[in-house]
Amino acid sequence: MKKISKIIIGTILLVLANILFITITWLKVQFGDVKFAEIIFQLMIPLKGSNISVFQKFGIFCIIVAILMAVPGIILAIKEDIRLVSALHIRKKYILGPIKLWRRFYPLVTTCILMAAVIYGLVSLEVPDYIKSNLQSSTIFEEYYVDPKEANITFPEEKRNLIYIFMESMEDSYMSRELGGAKPYNLIPELTELQLSNTNFSASGKISGGIAATGSTWTVGAIVAQTAGIPLSIPIDGNSMNKYNSFLPGAYSIGDILNSQGYQQVFLVGSDAVYGGRLNYMSQHGNYAVEDYNYAIEKGWIDPDYHVFWGYEDQKLYNNAKEELTRLSESNQPFNLTMLTVDTHYVGGYRCEQCGYEYGDQYSNVIACGSKQLVNFISWIKQQPFYENTTIVISGDHPTMDSKYMKYKPTGYQRKVYSTIINSTVEYSLDFDRNFTTMDMFPTTLASLGVDIEGNRLGLGTNLFSETPTLLEEMGLTELNNQLKRNSLYYNEKLLYKY
């Protein structure tokens, strides 16, 4: 009985170690430099609305492989003879010793293997760095944060409409190296032309997008950064879901500002907006009408049983956006339509009927298709009566998490999200390229609407049309990220919880 107990305990520990090794390796392969802070955030939100099929498939695969990997160890722990060793024609003295030790100390050895797996996970996910950063204090908010609610901002007499398009995982690296990308060819020529012929904050002729700093490298964090000028950070002691129902209660976003100015606001997304807290954030900061996958079913845009990828694909999203823009433009109120695409989400994206087969992998074809669909949508907007008084901001939410796809980038290449502003009231007239993060899009978007911002800063963002340096230009990326990773009493007390 004692021997059986030892084998059962050892086997459980061995399988758990295998699961941990496989899971951490899979996370690193699939999501590249995924940070522990993002994992913490994802664990603290409901999975409702997410595309969990890839995780379900992996879960089944992981358990099966972990058990299969443990089988040889189980056999060696149970087997009493050495016929297997003899059959392999291996000199017994080199292997009998380890086998005997394995059999005798099976639970102890597997405990050590499990501890090694834990250490591997901690190091791979940079958990010590996360803990260290949270134990350190930062005063970046005390020194640089400009409370938008208290800032002196002035709107023009005739308020302009805003269309803000978050393009899932769209980044400059998809362009050719000559243009500032990382590929030998240009995967998104339509978006490139759109960027070069409109505002892109570059004076050199090369594309210059924004860097996703710490706290803005996943969709919800990216939305917060670009609309409120702050990162999305969770302190080391966590954040219970009852508190999380109030999403950044101390933040004041572009949605809040435009709502106070009488704007109609719509957030259009083809997935369930509950996922990631998007519903809470958009409804609580600007009173957006959230029109997501569930809304599309209620509205009759899609059938009740229709579901692909994360909900419904972008070609339908653009058609729905046309309908909503037409409706919004018929009112006397200015409007803000903010939308989030999804087809270019990892892994591999979603291939719709409009996608071609020009490239050898699905993701490249989906990205190229996304470029064409977006530019066709912009062409439609330009033909509408409301376009003359409308500014369009197009921005990737964050760089893609598909790390296997990004192996082509040169060593040391700085990935940046795609960004451009169309029909801005102010032109970019500086004679140098801006070095900026996506947090700078917050005041920059308002400036493009003709809004005057005293001091040219809101949140931690800087108006890129001005000569005021961004925090990235002042600090450099390493120091800025270090400051954003650290624990901030101001952020926790006045933005995250608002005690």
Residue 274 domain flag: yes
DSSP β-bridge partners for residue 199: 421
Look at residue 136 in the predicted model and tell me its pLDDT: 76
- Regarding whether 298 and 190 lie in a shared domain, the answer is yes
Residues 6+ apart with CB under 8 A from 374: 165, 167, 190, 191, 194, 341, 394
In one-letter notation, the amino acid at residue 8 is I
Residues 6+ apart with CB under 8 A from 496: 233, 235, 239, 248, 250
In one-letter notation, the amino acid at residue 338 is T
- Regarding whether 184 and 124 lie in a shared domain, the answer is no
The candidate with the shortest Cα–Cα distance to 390, out of 149, 148, 165, is 165
- Regarding whether 161 and 82 lie in a shared domain, the answer is no
CATH number where 405 lies: 3.40.720.10
Last residue of one domain, picked from the residues 79, 112, 135:
135
**In this structure, are residues 458 and 434 in contact, taking their beta carbons and an 8 Å threshold?**
no
- Regarding whether 129 and 197 lie in a shared domain, the answer is no
Residue 294 domain flag: yes
- Bond preceding residue 290 cis, omega within 30 of 0: no
Residues 6+ apart with CB under 8 A from 7: 74, 77, 78, 106
Residue 51 domain flag: yes
Look at residue 235 in the predicted model and tell me its pLDDT: 54
Residue 208 domain flag: yes
Q: Which of 390-414 are b and which e, b meaning 16 or more Cβ less than 10 Å from the residue's Cβ?
A: bbbbbbbbbbbbbbebbeebeeeee
Tokens, residue 490: 């101001």
Look at residue 243 in the predicted model and tell me its pLDDT: 44
- Regarding whether 159 and 85 lie in a shared domain, the answer is no
> What's the structural domain count of the chain?
2
Last residue of one domain, picked from the residues 81, 104, 135:
135
**In this structure, are residues 255 and 336 in contact, taking their beta carbons and an 8 Å threshold?**
yes
Look at residue 43 in the predicted model and tell me its pLDDT: 56
Look at residue 346 in the predicted model and tell me its pLDDT: 84
Decide: residue 249, CB within 10 A, 0-12 exposed, 13-18 middle, 19+ buried: middle
Look at residue 236 in the predicted model and tell me its pLDDT: 43
The candidate with the shortest Cα–Cα distance to 345, out of 392, 397, 287, is 397
**In this structure, are residues 171 and 416 in contact, taking their beta carbons and an 8 Å threshold?**
yes
Residue 446 domain flag: yes
Residue 140 domain flag: no
Residue 93 domain flag: yes
Q: Terminal CA-to-CA distance of the chain, rounded, Å? A: 57
- Regarding whether 286 and 190 lie in a shared domain, the answer is yes
- Regarding whether 268 and 176 lie in a shared domain, the answer is yes
**In this structure, are residues 437 and 213 in contact, taking their beta carbons and an 8 Å threshold?**
yes
Decide: residue 111, CB within 10 A, 0-12 exposed, 13-18 middle, 19+ buried: middle
- Regarding whether 159 and 123 lie in a shared domain, the answer is no
Domain of 40 in residue numbering reads as 2-135
- Regarding whether 307 and 455 lie in a shared domain, the answer is yes
- Where are any strands of DSSP class E within 371-482? 390-396, 419-422, 452-453, 457-458, 461-462
Residue with tokens 């029909």, as numbered in its chain: 423
Question: What is this structure's pTM?
Answer: 0.82
- Regarding whether 179 and 127 lie in a shared domain, the answer is no
Tokens, residue 295: 């809304």
Rounded CA gap, 77 and 105, in Å? Answer: 9
Last residue of one domain, picked from the residues 91, 112, 135:
135
Three-state DSSP class for residue 195 = helix
**In this structure, are residues 121 and 22 in contact, taking their beta carbons and an 8 Å threshold?**
no
- Regarding whether 322 and 470 lie in a shared domain, the answer is yes
Residue 16 domain flag: yes
pLDDT (tens digit per residue) in 6-28: 777 777 877 887 788 787 777 66
- pLDDT averaged over the chain? 86
Decide: residue 81, CB within 10 A, 0-12 exposed, 13-18 middle, 19+ buried: exposed
- Percent of the chain residues past pLDDT 90, beyond the cut: 59
The sheet carrying 335-340 orders its strands as 289-291, 264-269, 335-340, 161-167, 390-396, 419-422
Q: How does pLDDT run along the chain (499 residues), one tens digit per residue? A: 566 777 777 778 778 877 887 877 776 665 555 666 666 665 555 555 555 555 666 677 777 877 777 777 777 677 654 454 454 445 555 555 666 666 666 777 778 888 888 888 788 777 777 777 677 789 999 999 999 999 999 999 999 999 999 999 999 999 998 888 899 899 999 999 999 999 999 888 778 799 999 999 989 999 999 999 999 986 544 433 334 568 999 999 999 999 999 999 999 999 999 888 899 999 999 999 999 999 999 999 999 999 999 999 999 999 999 999 999 999 999 999 999 999 999 888 999 999 999 999 999 999 999 999 999 999 999 999 999 999 999 999 999 988 778 877 888 899 999 999 999 999 999 999 999 999 999 999 999 999 999 999 999 999 999 999 999 999 999 999 999 999 899 998 999 886 5
- Regarding whether 301 and 169 lie in a shared domain, the answer is yes
